[in-house]
Every structure is written in structure tokens, then in C-alpha cells.
Amino acid sequence: GPTHQPVEQVMALRTIPGLTVFRPADGNETAAAWAAAATIDGPVAMILSRQGTPTLDGTADLAPDGVSRGAYALSDPDGSVITLIGTGTEVSVALKAAEQLAGDGIVARVVSMPSWERFEAADDQYRDQVLPSGHPVVSVEAGITLGWHRWADSTVGIDRFGASAPGATVLERLGITPAAVADAARGLL
């Protein structure tokens, strides 16, 4: 909105020692995040969208374990050459970018990463399974890109203050689109 453009808030929360942050993509991930939060000895922040979000294919089966570990491959087709990571509502953006890339013959995996802290705490084998070594990675999140380079080779985010307009218009203007993610992926291949 015109008075509040919280591009830094999620990242700022991630920097608080001992705080576990969850940014779920849909209702299934939200339920899984609440279940995981109940097992965490310490404070937890749930970053939820006020906009309606679609229920994503695969989250009903994959989210309970994947969210508790912080990240998981939501879409893992054979022959993938690049990984797209999304958090929260941007998981849908990553899935749409994967569809665009498929139209060009580029096979992309999509990873949902609702919790950096939980993913960092996962064992090396699991982290390597989710983000395979040598696989280029693009992240997308509607916030600053600070910190994403630990996971991604290229980032799509908002490194400036936003704009005032309807949500879809703002995201388009700021480049949080499937086309921008697909372009970033092509730039790594």
C-alpha cells in the first residue's frame, strides 16, 4: 500500500537468533507448518498471505514431511536441468515459470522452501536431495533478495520499495512474475 511496503520484514525476521520462520504456500503447507511449530522449542513466526491462494498439486501428500524439514521438491520431473525455489505465494509463480520453461524444452524442478531455519537444520543428505549440487538454482520471493545467494545462483525479488496499486499490478511492475523467473533461469543455462 501507499504507507507500508514491507520488502525487508521476512528477511529481518530470519535474522533473529532462535526464531523459526515459516512462509507456507497454501493451506496444506500452513497446516503442516502449524504441526511443525508445535514441536519446536522456541518462538515461531508464521508469514501468511491475506490474498486467496490456490491449493497446489502435491502439497497434500508432500507438505507434512517437506515443511517440517524446511523445503521439498514439489515438482521433480525427470531430466530437470534447473531448480526454481519459491516461498509462500511465490511457489505458484515458480510453478508457472516451470510451465513456461517446459514450452521451450527446458525441464525445471520446483522447490517450496517455507522455512530456511528448518532446511538449514536438515541433514546434508536431505539438503543435497532437495538442492542437488551442480544444478543451477533461481529463487523467487516478494521481498529483498538479501541472503538468497546461500541457496540460489540467481534471485528474483524486490530490492527497492514498491508501488501503490492493486496487488497483481504491483507484482508485475516489480518483476515478480513467471516470465521474470523463466528469464533468470534461461540466463543460467
> Which range has the worst mean pLDDT, 9-13, 73-77, 86-90?
9-13
> Which range has the worst mean pLDDT, 11-25, 53-67, 151-165?
151-165
What is the grid cell recorded at 161? 520499495
In the numeric block, the cell 510453478 is attached to 95
pTM for the predicted model, two decimal places = 0.93
Q: Are strands 20-22 and 44-46 parallel, antiparallel or unpaired?
A: parallel
- Look at residue 76 in the predicted model and tell me its pLDDT: 96
Question: For the chain, what is the largest distance between any 2 Cα atoms, rounded to a whole number of angstroms?
Answer: 46
Question: pLDDT tens, 86-138?
Answer: 999 999 999 999 999 999 999 999 999 999 999 999 999 999 999 999 899 99
Is the CB of residue 69 less than 8 Å from the CB of residue 118? yes
Q: Which of 73, 82, 121, 123 is nearest to 100 (CA)?
A: 82
Report the C-alpha gap between 134 and 6 in whole angstroms.
33
Query: Cα dihedral angle (86, 189, 77, 24), rounded to 10 degrees?
Result: 0
Tell me the domains of the chain and their CATH numbers.
9-188 (3.40.50.920)
> Which range has the worst mean pLDDT, 3-7, 41-45, 77-81, 148-152?
3-7
Q: Which secondary structure element, helix H or strand E, spans residue 44, and what is its range?
A: strand 44-46
Is the CB of residue 114 less than 8 Å from the CB of residue 25? yes
- Look at residue 171 in the predicted model and tell me its pLDDT: 73
